[in-house]
Each structure stands twice: as structure tokens, then as C-alpha cells.
Chains A and B, each alone.
Chain A
Amino acid sequence: MIIQFLVCFAANISFAVLFSAPKRQLIFCGLTGSVGWLVYLLCKDCGLGLAGCNLVATLTLTLISRIIAALQKHPVTVYLVAGIFPLVPGAGIYYMSYYFIMNETDQCAKWGMDTLKIAGSIVLGIIFGFALPQKLFNKLHSVKLPSVKNVFRGR
């Protein structure tokens, strides 16, 4: 689990760099994404279905992104974009086209449906995450984070 967390952290930071996120925010980009992935894994362990795992993970990810965005006074996109990548159904797309080529229609249909389900639950997760009014998060603007700021001042 810890290894998964660290690898996911690296993956998210990589994508944040590819999309030229501000250097000071890279740590947070990595953090949001790996927490999202961790939640996904935990849900999976608890026996939640594919859609459920993705829904809960995306919801957590969106909320964390919004909280950090409010604290750091940066756009939510910065954190959300890199963090969403572990959940996006890249594997689904691959297997779907693979079985399509191999003429295994039932497998192709299964993966196609899974991909749609995942995409759908990501959609729902983000929508629920943004359903909370921005006012709640704006209150965080005034919260001072001395410890965090001091840590990053040297960078």
C-alpha cells in the first residue's frame, strides 16, 4: 500500500510537470492524486464495485483539491487535472480495442461497459464534489498555514 502510494505520487507529479503546474504546487498535486488512489484501493478492498470505487475516489479527490485550492489560493484545475489520471480508464480503452481486434465480442463489450461505467462514476464524483457551495471553501482563504508556508519557503 505504501509503495502504491509513493508510485502514485511520482506518477501524479510527473503529469503535473507535463502540464506545467507551478513548481510550488507540485507536492500538493502529487498528494491529492495519491490520496484519491489510496481511497480507490481501500474501497476495492472493502468489496465495493468498480463504479463505487471510482465514485468515492473521485469525490474525495475533488473535495481535497477544492480544499487545497482554497488554502493555496490557486485554481482547482491545477490539483484536479493531475490527480484524476490514475482513475481515468486508460486500461479500459486498451482492452476494449484489444478484444475488438481479437474478435472476442463479449470481452470487448464487457470492457466497453466497464470503461463507460468508470467514466460515468468519475463524472458523478466530480459533480458531487462541486455541488458543495464555493462559500464553504472561501472561508478557508483566511486560514493561515504557517507550518506549510515555512516548509516551502526554502524551495
Chain B
Amino acid sequence: MAVTKEILTLAVEMGDALLRNGAEVYRAEDTVLHILEAYEIKDFDVYVLSNGIFASADENTEDACSMTRHVPLGKTHLGRIAALNQLSREICSHECSLIDAWTRLEECKNIPVSKISVRIFFCGLGSGSFGYLLGGTLPDAVLSFFIGMLLQVFLIATDHRLDSKFLTNILGSALVTTLSLFALWIGIPIMQDKVIIGAIMPLVPGIALTTSIRDLFNGDYLSGAIHMIDAILTAFCIAIGVGAIITLYRFLPGGISLL
């Protein structure tokens, strides 16, 4: 009987896809459990971490099987999470057969990310808005807008080339700081701190922080700790990137009078 195996593969595959796109641990775990239940598997055990899934089903019967997955921390894609959530809801209410579920799962996994131009524009818009919200003036916001766009260009360009997230964050925040200090240096009247704060917003670990809190709250201490360390290290990297460039700037002629 290969049925158990197929069901378990589907369930774990869905959990995998959820985690990969940045869902919380409890959501992935719940999804796997509910799918197994929906397809009437009685005896199962599932353990989900923020970067791994362990599951077994029907251990005491002939078609016993178990599965392990390693899921690297990836980019957040809320659209896929929402679609997968919808799919799991349909499976649980028995509106979706096993074969349909596979095709649907593939569809969910392949929901595209937005176009590059769209992402660049919205990254700029976000940066600019935050530059304004956090106390900047209109020129600050406009400058933040353009620097934010350049940051996203940088992030997209280095997406496949830089393996290390730390390096991406350090270089990204260094780039932002360099650009805003350069604008200050050539005499554009801006508050460079607001510009920088606005433009580093896309790098700030808001998601990791939120997810980690929710994991901790649900009792997944290990996963919460993993995300928390991720958030703290990211913040640390941003600080290094900004700090290094400010230090360098002080050695420039006319660069001492900051803030």
C-alpha cells in the first residue's frame, strides 16, 4: 500500500512549502496534522522546526513511513502562504481529492513574485514614506525614495550571487548610508539620519521578530530562538554597515559636522 506514503508526502510537502515561504511553525505543523487527519490517517506524529520537518505515519502497520525535510530560511511570500492556507482548508473540508491536491500544491508553489520594476518602485515608496513618517521633511522623503529604489536594485542584483544574508545586509545598509552621506556632502540640505532610517527599513528584521515572538508564544521555543537570533543578527549587521560608513565619513574633509 503506497497510500499512506503518498498522503504523508503531500502533507509534508505542504508544510515544507509553507515554511519555505516564511509561515510560522505552528501554521506548518497544524497544516500537516490537519491534512493527515483529513485523509483519515489515524496514527501519526509530526514535529516541525523553523528549518526542518520530521513526520511519521502508521508506524505500526505494514505501510509505515516517515519523512525528514530540511527547509532553509527563505524569503517571505505572503501570497503563497495565503494560497496554501486556502488549499489546506479545502482539503480539510474534503473538497479536494489527493490528485487534485498535488496539482493545486504545484500551482501554489509557483505563484510568481511581483515584477522587478514593481518591487523596485514599492521599495522606494516604502522607504520614502518611512523617511517622512519618522520625522523627515519632504526632500528627505524624496531622497529616501530614490535610495530605497537603488537598495532594491542592489538586493535584486545580488540575490543569487551573495550566499550570505549577513553580507547582503551589511553591504545594503552601507550602500544606503554612503548614498545619503554623499548627498549631504555635496550640499543637499537633508537630515541624513531620517533619510538613512527610511531607506534601511526594507532591511529591518520586522518579520523575523514577529514570527519569533509568535513561535515563542506557541511554545515552540527552539524555533522562536532560531528566528530571534536571526532578527538580532540582522539588526547587528545593519548597525555594522551604517556604522562603518559613518566612521569613514568622519575622515572626509568637511565630514565631521554630522547631526
Task: Produce 1/0 per residue, A6-31, CB < 8 A to B.
Answer: 01101101111111111001000000
Tell me, rounded to whole Å, the shortest Cβ–Cβ distance linking A84 to chain B.
5
- Of the candidates A11, A19, A81, A101, the one whose C-beta lies within 8 Å of that of B129 is A11
Residues from chain A with a CB closer than 8 A to the CB of B217 are 126-127, 130
A80 touches B132 (CB 8 A): no
- Of the candidates A77, A85, A98, the one whose C-beta lies within 8 Å of that of B24 is A77
A14 touches B122 (CB 8 A): yes
What range describes how many residues of B lie at the interface?
Answer: 35 or more
B78 touches A95 (CB 8 A): no
A88 touches B193 (CB 8 A): no
Task: Produce 1/0 per residue, A27-57, CB < 8 A to B.
Answer: 0000000000100000000000000000000
- Answer whether A21 and B213 are a contact pair too, CB < 8 Å, given A14-B123, A75-B23, A94-B242: no
Task: Produce 1/0 per residue, B201-215, CB < 8 A to A.
Answer: 110111101110110
Q: Is A4 an interface residue (CB 8 A)?
A: yes
Q: Is B134 an interface residue (CB 8 A)?
A: yes
On chain A, the number of residues with a Cβ less than 8 Å from chain B's Cβ atoms is 45
Q: Is B133 an interface residue (CB 8 A)?
A: yes
Q: Is A110 an interface residue (CB 8 A)?
A: no
A14 touches B125 (CB 8 A): yes
Residue of B nearest to A131 (CB): B217
Q: Is B72 an interface residue (CB 8 A)?
A: no
Residues from chain B with a CB closer than 8 A to the CB of A16 are 78
Residues from chain A with a CB closer than 8 A to the CB of B89 are 73
Residues from chain B with a CB closer than 8 A to the CB of A130 are 214, 217
Residue of A nearest to B241 (CB): A97
Residues from chain A with a CB closer than 8 A to the CB of B122 are 13-15, 17-18
B81 touches A90 (CB 8 A): no
- Of the candidates A22, A84, A90, the one whose C-beta lies within 8 Å of that of B130 is A90
Tell me, rounded to whole Å, the shortest Cβ–Cβ distance linking A28 to chain B.
12
- Answer whether A17 and B82 are a contact pair too, CB < 8 Å, given A73-B89, A98-B246: no
Tell me the A53-109 residues at the B interface (CB within 8 Å).
Answer: 73-75, 77-78, 80-81, 84-86, 88, 90-91, 93-98, 100-102
A84 touches B79 (CB 8 A): no
Residue of A nearest to B249 (CB): A101
Q: Is A123 an interface residue (CB 8 A)?
A: yes
Residues from chain B with a CB closer than 8 A to the CB of A102 are 246, 258
Residues from chain A with a CB closer than 8 A to the CB of B210 are 77, 80-81, 84, 126
Residues from chain A with a CB closer than 8 A to the CB of B130 are 11, 85-86, 90
B213 touches A98 (CB 8 A): no
Residues from chain A with a CB closer than 8 A to the CB of B86 are 73
Residue of A nearest to B126 (CB): A14
Bound Cα distance from A146 to B133, whole angstroms: 34
Q: Is B243 an interface residue (CB 8 A)?
A: yes
A126 touches B213 (CB 8 A): yes
- Answer whether A17 and B81 are a contact pair too, CB < 8 Å, given A11-B126, A93-B204: no
Q: Is B32 an interface residue (CB 8 A)?
A: no
Residues from chain A with a CB closer than 8 A to the CB of B247 are 101
Tell me, rounded to whole Å, the shortest Cβ–Cβ distance linking B121 to chain A.
8
Tell me, rounded to whole Å, the shortest Cβ–Cβ distance linking B90 to chain A.
11
**Further 14 A-B residue pairs, CB within 8 A, beyond A14-B123, A20-B79:** A8-B129, A15-B201, A17-B119, A19-B78, A22-B82, A25-B82, A75-B82, A77-B24, A77-B27, A77-B210, A85-B206, A98-B242, A126-B213, A130-B214
12 contacts between A and B (CB under 8 A): A10-B125, A11-B125, A15-B122, A20-B111, A20-B113, A20-B114, A22-B82, A81-B210, A85-B126, A90-B130, A97-B240, A97-B246
